[in-house]
A and B are shown apart, each in its own frame.
Chain A
Amino acid sequence: MKKIFWLILPVIMIFCISGCSEKEEKNISIYDLQKAVLEAGKDFPEMKTVNGSSEDAASLFTYLSDVEYEKVDAFFLSYAAEGESYEVAVVRMKENSDVKEMTDSLKAHVDDRINLYKNYEPEQVGRAEEADVFSEGKYAVLIMCDNKSDIKAAFENIINE
């Protein structure tokens, strides 16, 4: 009985200590993620993409979100060059605790886009209103297009690899 006790005890201790620490996530290259996701966008019009490697990335990021750029680990933003309602953005935060703030900010961005389209391009409003904003782990994601499920599947495939 004692032997069983002494065998089990270290195992319990290991669990006690390991349960307190955050899981280390493997960070995927944001460029690979961008490539995989955008390849799933078969019916996209001409798109422009900016990411953390872009010149003046911090300034460009402000067109997407007002979250402090210092909280962002990596991001990419892909949008229709002529202003149609096609847009994909993935933002990886440094801390899990900041993901909700980022997700809320992406929703606010979508609302702004809807208002802009209502004023200037009403034909684009429908697609903008159907935009999907969600989070997964440290990622906050915005998908605005017709084949949202394909884009989402591509995203989930690559981060779960």
Chain B
Amino acid sequence: MIGYARRTWIVLWKDLLVERRSKESLNALLFFALLLLFLFQFALGLDQDRLHAALPGLIWLGFVLAGLLGLGRSFVAERDNDCWDGLRLTPGDKSAIYLGKLAANLMVMGAVEVVILALFGLFYNVNLVSVLGPLAVVLALGTLGLATVGTLFAALTAGVRARELLFPVLLLPVQVPVLLATVSATQIVLAGQPLGDAGAWLRLLAGADLVYLVIGLLTFEFILDA
């Protein structure tokens, strides 16, 4: 168990260190998020009612598009210099690698989401501070749902030539329950209603997260060996 935790931790440490040094994902994602905000602003104009109605969808559209870019690259470093084979040669339960990668992806996505949210608040003059607690719960569950499947499919498509095309094609249909639940729960939270009103959506979200996580842990070794 200690060995498993150490291997999970070292994968997380390695991925965050590589990301901090290369800044490949983070810089691209932040620039991309900024571009999206400008595009949404042009598309929706200054009509605040329209904007508020569309806000939950826009926020998640931003997260999902940024997530597709970031998650899709999470196994690229493993393909360089045959590191993928190195991971296959390591002993023990390979799901520790998946868990470490997932944790690193969650941290990078979380950082990008915080920035995107702050920019949404600034650009569209929306007070997110008053709903920050409930919103954080929805974001955490939604991001976990996106990252669990995203990490698994990133591994699955890492060695494929048409990776950039195949990754979203595989990921988005599987994400439908997560997106449906997160957008609906975000809408309820942003409307100022108590978090309990989004209980059914949050239960669906937590259930989907759990199912995706278990599938990821159980199947990662086969994907690594495929």
The finding on whether chains A and B are genuine partners in a shared complex, rather than unrelated, reads no
Q: Which residues of B contact A (CB under 8 A)?
A: none
